[in-house]
Copies of this chain bind each other. A is one copy, B any other.
Amino acid sequence: MLEVELKARVDDLGAVRERLHTMRAVFECAVTERDLYLNSPARDFAKTDEALRLREAGGHYTLTYKGSRKTGHPLKAREEIICGIESGETMEKILVALGFRPVAEVRKRREYYHVGDATVTLDSVEGLGEFVEIELDSHAGVPASYLIDLAASLGVTGKPIQDSYLELLEKSRKKG
């Protein structure tokens, strides 16, 4: 699956939440997500622009591979493969035995909303701040401009961010 999303920093998630209500967005759930990122023994994902992520969200676990970002795309677009797993702890043990190394953890509170052809998430990321992500539910015939227009309707006017939360955290640590 190709993931296409628009992500931007916001000052006030409350204002976006109000606009979502006005637009009759459907609230799905609010969860605390704990993401553990791992690096490969075979290549450096920071250089190849890949990512391997173990996520725990509301007692459910997933393993996700993200490919390198497509250059030339107006928004953030990358291959994404997600598999549900029974236990994050056991999968981490398998990955560590295979030579993968945990490199960073990202924790956030996330609210999921559905509006039109997109999923909108309101994120409070530990140590980073507040963000809105807008992702197309399907890519059939929906232009990237749809996301940009939707962002404007929600009052999300900040510059689209290509960096992942992991990269933003690493950059803020280096500045630290």
- A interface with B by C-beta (< 8 Å): 40-43, 50, 52, 63-65, 67, 79, 81-87, 90-91, 93-94, 97-99
Contacts and interface: CB of A to CB of B under 8 A. Distances in A.
Q: How many copies are assembled?
A: 2
Contact of A42 (B50, B85, B99): B99
B87 A86 contact: no
Contacts of A40: 41-42, 98-99
Contact of A83 (B42, B50, B52, B94): B94
Nearest to A67: B97
A173 B16 CA distance: 63
A149 to B, nearest CB: 32
A63 B99 contact: no
